[in-house]
Amino acid sequence: MIKCIVIDDEPLAVRLLENHISKIAELKLVATAANALEAYRILQTQEVDLLFLDIQMPDLNGIEFLRSLNKKPSAIFTTAYREFAIEGFELEAVDYLLKPITFERFFKSVDRVLRNVKKENEDDFLILKSEGFSRKLLLKHILYFESIGNDIKAVLQNELFVVSKMSVSELAVHLQHKGFLRIHRSFIINQHQVTAISNQEVLIDKIAIPVGRSFRKTFDDFARLFSAKRLF
């Protein structure tokens, strides 16, 4: 279930979106807000996955509001003005809907959200064996993996543990296309946790991880993307 709120100062626009939302079983409307300040108060008390966000509003417009949030839910902008489209997509909005919003166009945007959620649910964890247990690891919490003898150390944001009887090469296969990168015969890193890079190493949570000579091309490709800000 995707929890959403509608933020719009036009009552007719709110009612139309409420009607559209009511037709999609996977969406749950938890609140509506007439302006950004009301929406901010809602976000302090409600868990929200998706914003239907008007742009032209009093005091703080929708783009300014979304930019101000530290933790940003997915957002679909709703507006009567085309000229804000570029700014909206720069904030990685799911879509940009022009009023009046037909159900067909609304459904197309929501379907994109649903497909993204499905993909995240399929790809966002890994099951690994450690100390006799099969552990579920959320990929976003993993900083890196390090080979230690015949085992692997999994380093997470708040803990670490040893993965039994698995090689780095085997683990690298499981982590293909999941945002991880092998940069050394002993290390696999979470690309999204990298905070700095040099020619010889990367920094993750102030920990320096070396770049292996055999993985130089892979690292150089990553470094170019990192420097161009295309990954984050």
pTM recorded for the entire structure: 0.56
Sequence-ordered list of residues with C-beta below 8 angstroms from that of 38, at least 6 positions apart, any chain: 7
Amino acid at 124: D
**pLDDT reported for residue 21:** 97
Sequence-ordered list of residues with C-beta below 8 angstroms from that of 203, at least 6 positions apart, any chain: 194, 195, 196, 197, 209
pLDDT exceeds cutoff 60 at 83: yes
Distance of CA 151 to the CA centre of its chain: 30
- How would DSSP label each residue in 7-22? E-S-HHHHHHHHHHHH
**pLDDT reported for residue 109:** 93
pLDDT tens digits, 122-156: 668 888 888 888 888 888 889 999 998 888 999 99
Smallest CA-to-CA distance from 192 within 209, 179, 207 is with 179
pLDDT exceeds cutoff 90 at 18: yes
Q: What rounded mean pLDDT belongs to the chain? A: 88
25: phi then psi, degrees, rounded to nearest 5: -60, -30
* pLDDT greater at residue 175 or residue 15: 15
